[in-house]
């Protein structure tokens, strides 16, 4: 049998691509060597958010007296925290498996190889199966980058995937990398009482987002007890007894940090495993598969989506790209747009962004307007006891919203309103004149929108 669509990789890009193909009436086979859901569901987005919830509850328990509530003795059973994380992941993986079955999608468990156009070879427990496919979608994801540092392979030097399996908390953790992955784990572990040091070679944490946000976040993290070392390079890691010694260097010289665990959070790279680039003649760009706006490669009937194409390595981007690819296979006129891609960072407080940053607009020489509204002036945020942070909106000279950043309670959910605004080219006035329920957190967005054309209402 020849399938109309063959998908290599069952992550959030691959499995959604398969579901969409089935909806369009296409015959589809999906090949996955591990569990459905990919890194996001099994070792990334979902398990870390389960840990974030446990950390949030622990933090709230410590603040209960502020709300007139008094609890007895409390302790963290981290093995139980990890067990709950596993339950959440297993439930969602099971849900994806049921969706595949309900859509009559053939799922082949095994390591797939794409060497020749028109077929995928899969190594399973029963041997090698060659599957004929009319169109191939490459969705092989990414893998953690292991930077070349002496001692990087020592026991106790782990990636996020390995750290998620540990059932005991270390006393001290060094996080190499001040990006999204590093800071989310740093926040979780710091909340549970682990002494955390974050080492970042660049001048600022979270360098890809609006620079005002990390400037506001860094002192908050330091106040919580976290050690933040920017403009600092890791020279080596060595073992002394049961401890790991991380040698770092900044403008002041060399110093050493003694820890139990080292988390490598220095980014991810496209995973090209199983794809015979040379034999196929597949075109790459900066180590990633090159595609057009329809997610087509340079080869007829070969598409690529998600982290393997580089760019914005986010699960929801992979999902959107998967839908675009299979819609194009199905004959629809579509194109992938990166105009309004939201990003959510689950530190405390949460951070979410969309569109242009202020430094980007400055670099482009654009005329723009800025408006900010603090959560300290929002009634719902005060009632929640989460008044740290702000909404920041950027608009062009005509008041059209081109970017936004939120740092504060439920930022990851609040950003959706501004994603729509950026995507649809809405003016700040459109948001300001939309009636928002009271008392709610989205009123902070409305207030910031008022500030683009005038002044927020509840700000002196």
Binding residues for NAD(+): 177-184, 200, 267
Supply 122's token pair.
């899969």
Contact 456, 448 (CB under 8 A): yes
Query: Of 301, 438, 450, 458, which residue is the catalytic one?
Result: 438
C-alpha to C-alpha distance for 144 and 266, rounded to whole angstroms: 8
Q: What angle do CA 116, 119, 123 make, to 5 degrees?
A: 100
Alpha-carbon distance of 239 to 167, in angstroms, equals: 22
Residue 326 in tokens: 């299979």
Active site residue 438: yes
SS3 of 321, please?
A: helix
Sheet strand arrangement including 261-264: 157-159, 261-264, 172-176, 195-199, 227-229
- Asked if the bond preceding 215 is cis, omega within 30° of 0, the reply is no
d(CA 52, CA 382): 22
Alpha helices in 38-179 (DSSP H): 38-43, 45-62, 78-102, 160-163
Annotated binding site for FAD: 49, 112, 140-142, 307, 313-316
- What gap in Å lies between CA 149 and CA 249, rounded to an integer? 13
- Residue found by looking up tokens 């994801």 in the block: 141
Contact 304, 295 (CB under 8 A): yes
Contact of 279 with 301, CB cutoff 8 Å = no
How far, in whole angstroms, is CA 376 from its chain's centroid?
Answer: 27
Task: State how far the Cα of 285 lies from the Cα of 343, in Å rounded to an integer.
Answer: 24
Measured in whole angstroms, the distance separating CA 384 from the mean position of its chain's CA atoms is 26
Exposure of 127 by Cβ count < 10 A (0-12 exposed, 13-18 middle, 19+ buried)? exposed
DSSP state of 183: H
Outline where 103-229 has alpha helix (H). Answer: 160-163, 180-191, 212-223
Give residues with Cβ within 8 angstroms of 117, minimum separation 6. Answer: 136, 280, 299, 300, 301, 302
**Can you list the pairs that 152-156 forms with residues at least 24 positions away whose Cβ atoms lie under 8 Å?**
152/237, 152/264, 154/237, 154/238, 154/239, 154/244, 155/239, 156/239, 156/244, 156/260, 156/261, 156/262
Active site residues: 438
């Amino acid at each position: 049998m020849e399938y109309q669509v063959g998908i290599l990789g069952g992550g959030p890009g691959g499995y959604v691509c398969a579901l969409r193909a089935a909806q369009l009436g296409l015959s589809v086979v999906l090949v996955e060597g591990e569990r459905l859901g990919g890194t996001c569901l099994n070792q990334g987005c979902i398990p870390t958010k389960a840990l974030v919830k446990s950390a949030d509850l622990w933090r709230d328990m410590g603040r209960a007296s502020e709300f007139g509530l008094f609890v007895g003795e409390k302790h963290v059973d981290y093995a139980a925290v990890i067990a709950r994380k596993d339950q959440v992941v297993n439930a969602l993986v099971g849900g994806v498996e049921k969706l595949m079955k309900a859509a009559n999608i053939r799922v082949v468990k095994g390591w797939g190889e794409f060497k020749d156009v028109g077929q995928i070879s899969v190594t399973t427990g029963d041997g090698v199966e060659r599957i004929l496919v009319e169109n191939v979608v490459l969705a092989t994801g990414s893998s953690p980058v292991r930077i070349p540092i002496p001692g990087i392979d020592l026991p106790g030097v782990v990636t996020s995937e390995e750290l998620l399996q540990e059932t005991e908390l270390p006393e001290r953790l060094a996080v190499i990398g001040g990006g999204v992955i590093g800071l989310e784990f740093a926040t979780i572990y710091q909340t549970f009482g682990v002494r955390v040091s974050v080492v970042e070679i660049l001048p600022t944490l979270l360098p890809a987002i609006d620079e005002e946000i990390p400037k506001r976040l860094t002192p908050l993290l330091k106040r919580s007890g976290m050690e933040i070392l920017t403009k600092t390079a890791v020279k080596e890691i060595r073992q002394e007894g049961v401890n790991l010694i991380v040698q770092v260097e900044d403008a002041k010289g060399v110093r050493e940090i003694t820890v139990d665990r080292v988390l490598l959070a220095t980014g991810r790279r496209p995973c090209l495993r199983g794809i015979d680039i040379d034999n196929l003649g597949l075109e790459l760009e900066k180590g990633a598969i090159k595609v057009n706006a329809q997610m087509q490669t340079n080869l007829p009937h070969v598409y690529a989506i998600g982290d393997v194409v580089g760019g914005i390595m986010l699960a929801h981007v992979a999902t959107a790209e998967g839908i675009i690819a299979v819609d194009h296979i199905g004959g629809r006129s579509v194109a992938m747009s990166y105009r309004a891609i939201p990003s959510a960072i689950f530190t405390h407080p949460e951070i979410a962004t969309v569109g242009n940053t202020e430094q980007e607009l400055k670099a482009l020489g654009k005329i723009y307007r800025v408006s900010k509204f603090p959560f300290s002036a929002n009634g719902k945020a005060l009632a929640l006891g989460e008044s740290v942070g702000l909404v920041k909106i950027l608009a062009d000279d005509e008041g059209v919203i081109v970017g936004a950043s939120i740092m504060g309670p439920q930022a990851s959910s609040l950003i959706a309103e501004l994603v729509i605004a950026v995507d649809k080219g809405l003016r700040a006035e459109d948001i300001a004149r939309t009636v928002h329920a009271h008392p709610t957190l989205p009123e902070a967005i409305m207030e910031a929108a008022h500030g683009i054309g005038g002044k927020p209402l509840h700000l002196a």
